[in-house]
Amino acid sequence: MADHVKVLTLDTMNPNVKKVEYAVRGPIVQRAVQIEMELQQGVKKPFTEVIRANIGDCHAMGQKPITFFRQVLSICSYPDLLDDDRFPEDVKSRARRILQACSGGSLGIQGCGVIGAPSPPSGSYSTSQGILLVRQDVARYIEKRDGGIKCNPDNIYLTAGASDGIVTMLKLLVSGEGPSRTGVMISIPQYPLYSATLAELAAVQINYYLDEESCWSLDIRELRRALEEARKHCTPRVLCIINPGNPTGQVQSRRCIEDVIQFAAEEKLFLLADEVYQDNVYADGCEFHSFKKVLFEMGPEFSEQVELASFHSTSKCYMGECGFRGGYMEVVNLDPEVKFQLTKLVSVRLCPPVTGQALLDLVVNPPEPHEPSYNIFIKERSHTLAELAKKASMTQQILSQVPGIQCNPVQGAMYTFPRIHIPPKAVSAAQEKGQAPDMFYCMRLLEEMGICLVPGSGFGQKDGTYHFRMTILPPTQKLETVLEKIKEFHQSFTQQFS
C-alpha cells in the first residue's frame, strides 16, 4: 500500500481538460471569495464589501424575480397551493396546465425518452427532448416573434440553459484529425464558454475580430480573412455568432445578419446563433433580428439550405433566473439522420431540469392582457428593462469621462468591455508576476477597491490592447459607486506607473 500510485494524475488525465480556461469564474473570482472570507473574519481592508461585477447573475445583483413566474413555479412544486386563495386564478390555471403535462401531476412526464424504449409513467424525468407541451409553446413563441414563420416543435430541444445546447451541438460538429479537424469560427472578444468547449473537444479555434472602432461591429472581410487563413491547417465547418454581444454589448443590424447568412451559405458553414440577450436591446436605432427570421425572409435559396441552430435561455433578459437552468435550441435544416443522433445524445443526460422547463414555458407564454396577472407582469418586466437601459447609458457616460478609458455604447446585453490604457511600467510589473497586464490591473482593483471585474485577456482581444468586462447589473446607486471607484483607481494606477 505504501507504494500505491494514483491512477488519476496530471500526467494521466485527459490533456484537453488541462487546456480549458473559464475567465468568468477564474483567479480573480477565487481571490474575491478569499477576500470576502477575510472581511467576515475581521481583516481590515480599504473597503467593507466586495462588489462582484464579473458575471451576469441578475438576481445576485439585486434584480427582482418576476412575480408571475415564481407564483406558478411555487404551485408546480407544491400543488397543495392550488387551494390557496392568495394566488390569482390565472396563476393556478397555468400551474394546472403544466402539471397536467406531467405524469402523476408532478414535475415530470412519461418516461426518460430513450429512443425506442417504452415510456412508463415516472413523474420524475421528462422526455429527453423536453416536455412536448413546453416545446409546442416555444414553437408558438418563435412563430410570433418571427412574424408567422413556421416552427416545428420537433425541431425544439429544451436545454439546461443555452450553454448546454451550445456544447451539445459542438459535440456533434467536431470531427476529423490533422488538416481535416473541425475548425470553429468564434468572435474575439468571445464568451469563454466557446473557447473552453473547443479546448475540451480538441477542436480548432478560428478567431475573427470584431471592430472596436465601429462599436464592435462584424465585418465580412474579417470573416473571410480568418476563414482563408484557417483553411491552411484545419477544415472550417462552424460559424458562431453572439447577438446581442457578450462581452461587447453590440447589436447586429439586419444587413449584417444577411451578410453573415450569405457568407455561411457560400462557404458551407453551420451557423450557431447565440441569442440569449434578445430582449436586452437599449440603444436608439438598434433592434433584435433573429437569424431564423432573416434566413427565411432571404428566400428558399438560403432557408432550405443553410443549417442553423439558435439558442435562448431563461437566465438573462428581464427574467434573470440563472439557477433554474432553463433554455431551448431550435435546429433548422438538420440532416434527419444527424437529428436522430442528436436525440440519442441528449438521451444520455436523461432530461434537462424539469423546473427549468416549466419556467421556460412561462417565459414563452406569459400572461395575456385579459388575465389578472398581466398588469403586474408588464409593470415588472418594463421596469427591469428600463432600469437596465438607464444603467447601460450611465456606464458608458461615466467611463468615457476617464482619461485612458475608451468605452463604446452598450447597445444591448448586460455588459461593457472598455479599452484601458496600461502604462509600460505596469506592463513590465505584470510580466514580472507572470500575469497578463489586464489581469494585473483587475487584481489590483480588487485588492484596493473591492471591485471584482474580469480581465479582457480572458475573452480575447487584439494584441497590444487591454480591456475589462463588467456587468451593468448592480442596482443604480451601487453601480454608480462601482464606476466612481473604477475612475478613482484608474487615475491612481496610471499615476503610480506613469
Q: Are 15-62+382-496 and 132-364 equal in CATH topology?
A: no
**Residue listed under C-alpha cell 472602432:** 213
CA angle 200, 217, 151 (to 5 degrees): 70
Burial class (CB in 10 A: 0-12, 13-18, 19+), 424: exposed
- For the stretch 212-221, contacts whose Cβ atoms lie closer than 8 Å and that sit 24 or more positions apart, written own/partner, are 212/408, 212/419, 212/462, 212/465, 215/250, 215/408, 215/409, 215/411, 216/245, 216/248, 216/249, 216/250, 216/408, 216/417, 217/250, 217/252, 217/256, 218/187, 218/252, 218/256, 218/260, 220/259, 220/260, 220/263
Instruction: Determine the pLDDT at residue 257.
Output: 95
Secondary structure of 303-318 in the HEC alphabet?
HCCCCEEEEEECCCCC
User: 393 to each of 282, 284, 473, 476, how far by Cα in Å?
Assistant: 9, 11, 12, 11
CA angle 14, 18, 21 (to 5 degrees): 135
Nearest CA-CA partner of 205 in 481, 460, 494: 460
Instruction: Determine the pLDDT at residue 319.
Output: 84
Average pLDDT, the chain: 88
Instruction: Determine the pLDDT at residue 118.
Output: 37
Diameter over CA atoms, the chain: 74
Nearest CA-CA partner of 135 in 358, 290, 348, 307: 358
- Of all residues in the chain, the percent with pLDDT exceeding 70 is 93
**What is 15-62+382-496's CATH topology?**
Aspartate Aminotransferase, domain 1 (3.90.1150)
Grid cell at residue 200: 475540451
CA 289 to chain centre: 17
In this structure, the strands spanning 454-455 and 468-471 are antiparallel
Please say whether the beta carbons of 417 and 437 come within 8 A.
Answer: no
Rounded Cα gap, residues 149 and 151, in angstroms: 7
Domain range summary for the chain, segments of one domain joined by + = 15-62+382-496, 132-364
Instruction: Determine the pLDDT at residue 53.
Output: 85
Burial class (CB in 10 A: 0-12, 13-18, 19+), 145: middle
Instruction: Determine the pLDDT at residue 21.
Output: 67
Is 132-364 in CATH node 3.40.640.10? yes
Rounded Cα gap, residues 20 and 24, in angstroms: 12
Instruction: Determine the pLDDT at residue 47.
Output: 87
The stretches in the chain having pLDDT less than 70 are: 1-2, 18, 20-25, 103-126, 128
Instruction: Determine the pLDDT at residue 108.
Output: 44
Instruction: Determine the pLDDT at residue 113.
Output: 38
**Alpha helices, DSSP H only, in 132-202?**
132-145, 161-173, 192-201
Please say whether the beta carbons of 378 and 212 come within 8 A.
Answer: no
